Structure 1
Amino acid sequence: MMNLSQEQWWEKCQEDPNAVILDVRTEEEVEEVAIPGAINIDIYKGQGFLDEVEALDKSKNYYVYCKAGGRSNQACLLMGQLGFENTYNLLGGITEWEGPTVG
């Protein structure tokens, strides 16, 4: 897992052909604002979160974000325990995000 600044995270994501953007916020939060192309798996689902993440392709690189960086950090740690080798946490989350958004 790597913690990346907004600029590093977006630049690396854009250059990565294996990139998957993962939003670990609630559905309500996602409806307000989200990064385009992100898949949403709510970390508050507990075992449901683990089950959905386990089904993801472990060969991909995951760019993970939440509202402020705490839940995404936790998600990256959990994903590492599940065998994901490349997870990148967005420091500051979408609260500090200055890139493109939808919603």
Structure 2
Amino acid sequence: MSIFGTLFGTSKEKSDKIEILDQAEFSAAIAGKKVQLIDVRTPNEYGSGHIKNAVNVDLFNATGFEKYCKKMSKDEPVYLYCRSGARSQRAAHKLVGMGFEKIYDLKGGYMRWR
């Protein structure tokens, strides 16, 4: 279990399925590959700048978020980010609950990306 999991008591199952990557690791993981890359910010935030090839699926639109994610492959890794990291963590836990096997979350969100 990670230090984070030890300190904050996250369940082993969730810590095994959700991995937080720093900007360099996240960038290397998505570079030149066709991946499931989701920006969970609002359309306005997405419009002001986003990671290339990211699909905007607003977490605040719960129905739309679930509907979109149900069409995604649960066996392929999902790469998530938001503005600072809080919303993407909520989205990651929601995806685990929906049966997704591996979720990568950008540490610090889009603010750290730029």
TM bin, normalised by shorter chain, reads 0.7 to 0.9
- Whole-angstrom distance in 1 between the partners of 2:106 and 2:88: 7
The alignment's C-alpha RMSD in Å is 1.4
- Whole-angstrom distance in 1 between the partners of 2:91 and 2:47: 20
- Whether 2:83 is the aligned partner of 1:67: answer yes
Structure 2 residue runs without a partner (length 5+): 1-17
Runs of 4+ with >4 A deviation: none
Q: Which residue of 2 aligns with 1:22?
A: 38
What is the DSSP-based 3-state SS (H/G/I as helix, E as strand, rest coil) of the residue aligned with 2:60?
helix
Deviation at 1:13, TM superposition (A): 2.1
Deviation at 1:92, TM superposition (A): 0.5
Q: Which residue of 2 aligns with 1:41?
A: 57
Structure 1 residue runs without a partner (length 5+): 99-103
- Whole-angstrom distance in 1 between the partners of 2:55 and 2:76: 13
Aligned mate of 1:3, from 15, 20, 28: 20
Aligned mate of 1:52, from 68, 80, 97: 68
Q: Contact 1:18–1:60 (CA<8 Å) still a contact in 2?
A: no
Q: In terms of Rg, which structure is larger?
A: 2
TM-score, structure 2 normalization: 0.78
Report the count of equivalent residues.
97
- Range with greater deviation from structure 2 (26-35 or 6-15): 6-15
What is the DSSP-based 3-state SS (H/G/I as helix, E as strand, rest coil) of the residue aligned with 1:96?
helix
Which amino acid counterpart does residue 49 of structure 1 have in structure 2? Answer: F
Identity across aligned pairs (percent)? 30
> Which is bigger in relative contact order (C-alpha 8 A, separation at least 6)?
1
- Whole-angstrom distance in 2 between the partners of 1:13 and 1:87: 13
